[in-house]
Each structure stands twice: as structure tokens, then as C-alpha cells.
């Protein structure tokens, strides 16, 4: 199998961290989104949606979307359980992972895709002739600021995002917060619980993936 990856983006990073936590090695192919390599005919033949990450199985099946790829590896390599062990844990992990996608990663994407000149005319992932909307940049910044507060509130009462155990929700949140830094919306210093959690996450070997 092959994992089509880009080291400069948060969603592929989620998969890399997940694989590192599982101790699984997968052949990777770098596709530079900044240089529009995902829009090339060669990559479009791999995945017509032209999005990264994309996992191609040995039988040619293509799985895209970070959480779906992580789900595949969770089923193939159940330990350690990163989507929760019980029904309650699985529901909470999935809920938080999806919230973080929408409230964190998507908001940061609004900022970079509607502000950075590299994404002129392709403000939506995988699409061309899609102009930037400057107003969405400010909306993204406001969304990220509100997201940080909600995340801090959760971490003030829970060791990890979705409870007592490290999970894909923590992976997603780490990528979201680091992505927020990258687009210029840093975590306010007074959010102590979030800052403490970030230190613990950065200390994990998988965070370097």
C-alpha cells in the first residue's frame, strides 16, 4: 500500500502520528499541495478528488479523509485502541474528533486558503477556479479563538480530550492547534489547561512524525 502525504499540512500529519502511535510503517509519497502537485493529472489518476492524504491499498482501493484512513488502520491494528475501547469511549472520541475538525482545522483552513497567495483561485481543497473570500479569513480567526476556549474548558476537567485515555481526538486537536499557530492564531497564554496538555502532547515521540 501507499500513503500519499504532504508534510506541510495538518490532515496528513494526523495519519502520520496515528501510524507512529500504532508502530506501523507505510510507504509514503510526498505530494506538495503548495506547488499544486495534487492538481496534476498523475495524482488525479490516483484520486479524482485531488486531496491529501490518500491511502491506496494493495488491491487498488483508495481511501481518503484522515479519520477514515485512521479507521482503516485501527481495524487492521487494534492495539493500542485509539478510537476508544467501550461504546461510550468510542462515541466520545468520534464526537470530539469531528468537533475539532470543524471547529479547529476547518477554521484554520479558512484563514490560510483565503489569505495566502499560494491558494489564489483554489480556496477549497482539490478545486480550481475557486476564488478566495477575504471575509472568511476573519471568520476563521474568530472560530479558532472560540475553539481554543472550548478545548481549554474540556481539558480543565479531563486528562485527555475525550476522557482518561489518549486517542485520535488528541491527535486531531494537536494538529488543529499547531495549524492555528501556523496561520497566526496562537493559543492565548491564559488558557493554562490547554497549554499544559500541549506540553504533554509535544513530549510524545509520535508528535515528531
Q: How is domain 2-76 classified at the CATH fold level?
A: Glutaredoxin (3.40.30)
Biggest CA–CA distance in the chain, Å, is 50
Per-residue pLDDT of the chain (209 residues; tens, 9 = 90+): 999 999 989 999 999 999 999 999 999 999 999 999 999 999 999 999 999 999 999 999 999 999 999 999 999 999 999 999 999 999 999 999 999 999 999 999 999 999 999 999 999 999 999 999 999 999 999 999 999 999 999 999 999 999 999 999 999 999 999 999 999 999 999 999 999 999 999 999 999 99
- Whether domain 87-208 has CATH 1.20.1050.10: the reply is yes
The helix or strand, by DSSP H or E, that contains position 96, with its residue range, turns out to be: helix 87-100
Q: Where in the chain is the domain with CATH 1.20.1050.10?
A: 87-208
Give strand pairing partners of 62: 56
| CA distances from residue 97 to 21, 105, 138, 170 in whole angstroms, order as listed | 17, 10, 24, 8
Half-sphere exposure of 191 (CA within 13 A, CB side): 20
Residue 155 class from Cβ within 10 Å (0-12 exposed, 13-18 middle, 19+ buried)? buried
Measured between alpha carbons, how far is 108 from 179 in angstroms, rounded to an integer? 7
Report the alpha-carbon distance of residue 104 to residue 151 in Å, rounded.
10
- What pLDDT was estimated at residue 200? 97
Query: What pTM did the predictor assign?
Result: 0.95
CATH 3.40.30.10-classified regions of the chain: 2-76
Residue 111 CB neighbour total at 10 angstroms: 23
Please name which of 16, 106, 97 lies closest in space to residue 55, comparing C-alpha atoms.
Answer: 16
C-alpha cell at 67: 479519520
The rounded distance, in Å, linking the Cα atoms of 108 and 31 is: 21
Three cell numbers at 152?
Answer: 481549554
Contact 56, 2 (CB under 8 A): yes
Q: Alpha-carbon torsion 140, 141, 146, 147, what sign?
A: positive
Strand 27-30: give its sheet, edge to edge. Answer: 27-30, 2-5, 54-56, 62-64
Give bridge partners of residue 118 from the DSSP assignment.
none
Amino acid at each position: 500500500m501507499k500513503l500519499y502525504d504532504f508534510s506541510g499540512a495538518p490532515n496528513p500529519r494526523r495519519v502520520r502520528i496515528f501510524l507512529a502511535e500504532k508502530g506501523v510503517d507505510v510507504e509514503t509519497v510526498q505530494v506538495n499541495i503548495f506547488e499544486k502537485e495534487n492538481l496534476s493529472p498523475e495524482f488525479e489518476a490516483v484520486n479524482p478528488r485531488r486531496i491529501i492524504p490518500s491511502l491506496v491499498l494493495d488491491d487498488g482501493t483508495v481511501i481518503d479523509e484522515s479519520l477514515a484512513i485512521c479507521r482503516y488502520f485501527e481495524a487492521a491494528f487494534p492495539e493500542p485502541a485509539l478510537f476508544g475501547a467501550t461504546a461510550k469511549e468510542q462515541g466520545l472520541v468520534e464526537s470530539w474528533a469531528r468537533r475539532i475538525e470543524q471547529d479547529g482545522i476547518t477554521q484554520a483552513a479558512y484563514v490560510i486558503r483565503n489569505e495566502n497567495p499560494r491558494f489564489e483561485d483554489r480556496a477549497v481543497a482539490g478545486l480550481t477556479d475557486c476564488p478566495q473570500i477575504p471575509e472568511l479569513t476573519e471568520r476563521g480567526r474568530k472560530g479558532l479563538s472560540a475553539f481554543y476556549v472550548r478545548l481549554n474548558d474540556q481539558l480543565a476537567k479531563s486528562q485527555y480530550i475525550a476522557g482518561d485515555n489518549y486517542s485520535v481526538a488528541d491527535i486531531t486537536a494537536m494538529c488543529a492547534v499547531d495549524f492555528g499557530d501556523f496561520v497566526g492564531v496562537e493559543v492565548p497564554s491564559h488558557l493554562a489547561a490547554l497549554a499544559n496538555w500541549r506540553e504533554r502532547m509535544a513530549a510524545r515521540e509520535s508528535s515528531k512524525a
